[in-house]
Amino acid sequence: MRESTYDDLGNVVAMPSAVTRVVSIVPSLTESIAATHASLIVGATDYCTHPADLDVTRVRGTKNPDLERIRELAPDVVLANAEENREVDLDALRASGIAVWVTAPTTVGESLDSLSRMLSAIIGDVPRWLHDARVVWSTPYDGKRRRAVVPIWRRPWMALGRDTFAGDLLSRIGIDNVLRESGERYPRIDPDALPAYDIVVLPDEPYAFSPSDGPEAFTRPAKCVSGRHLTWYGPSLVEARELLSGQLQ
């Protein structure tokens, strides 16, 4: 076994000195490993869509992973996220003797540091794309700022609130979340009773907002954006700043 390593929650994660089998139940972490060392991945969720040619055993979703199938895959480590995955499932995997690495970033900076720790522990090195992402996000935004509401779900309406990775990312390209002082991370909202805002940011995940599903509910201009680039932390961060800035013009 390697020297003890710690995940984002401070949990000790005991892994072999050479990790050869990884199950990821977080799409962005699946992409992070696949972009670096795809042969390590033996299992991923049905929602792990990047890279498109990933050919591994599927273990259902982030909220309902097939724990028995994961056990059968005998992974050296399972990659999870404190927000996306249920603690009861992670505890069940740990009780089976499986190492579980949990990420929990709420800012772009935290995500880059989190990925660096995780990839260094599993692969033994930091990939080039992670260096590139740090460079991309190292330059402060100095242009005109706008206030936005950022829905993430409909029926019921929900939006980004306080302490979210996506909210921090948007602030770094000049978009300030009007609900960032909310008492909840994902509060329910009434589109007709919101603080003053300039723009609506509509990602295509987790709810699949589109030009024909979402903008009509708001009185201010709405922009549809890539949910992967707004909410995933991984290789997508290299192009997210330029892409989202263009989509939000």
Span 218-233, pLDDT tens digits:
999 999 999 999 999 9
pLDDT tens string 55-67: 999 999 999 999 9
CB 20 within 8 A of CB 38: no
Tell me how far CA of residue 171 lies from CA of 26, 140, 175, 185, 197, in angstroms: 24, 10, 5, 16, 14
Count CB atoms within 10 A of the CB of residue 211.
Answer: 11
Instruction: Domain ranges for the chain, please list them.
Output: 5-135, 146-247
Two tokens at 239? 């192009």
DSSP symbol at 42: E
Give the single-character DSSP code of 41.
Answer: E
- In the CATH scheme, what is the homologous superfamily, with its name and number, of domain 5-135? Nitrogenase molybdenum iron protein domain (3.40.50.1980)
Please say if the pLDDT value at position 92 is more than 60. Answer: yes
In eight-state DSSP terms, residue 76 is S
- The answer to whether the predicted template modeling score (pTM) of the entire model surpasses 0.85 is yes
Average pLDDT, the chain: 96
Q: What is the pLDDT of residues 128-143, one digit of tens each?
A: 999 999 999 999 999 9
Report the pLDDT value the prediction gives residue 1, as an integer from 0 to 100.
Answer: 53
pLDDT at 2 > cutoff 70: no
Omega prior to 206 cis, within 30 of 0: yes
Same CATH topology for 5-135 and 146-247?
yes
Superfamily of domain 146-247: Nitrogenase molybdenum iron protein domain (3.40.50.1980)
| Residue 3 pLDDT exceeds 70 | no
pLDDT(187) > 70: yes
In the predicted structure, residue 4 carries a pLDDT above the cut 90: no
**pLDDT classification of 53: cutoffs 50, 70, 90:** very high
3-state secondary structure 140-194: CCCCCCEEEECEEECCCCEECCCCCHHHHHHHCCCEEECCCCCCCCCCECCCCCC
Mean pLDDT over 220-247 rounds to 98
Residue 106 has pLDDT above 60, yes or no: yes
Average pLDDT on 227-247 reads 98
Q: 108: pLDDT confidence band, cut at 50, 70 and 90?
A: very high
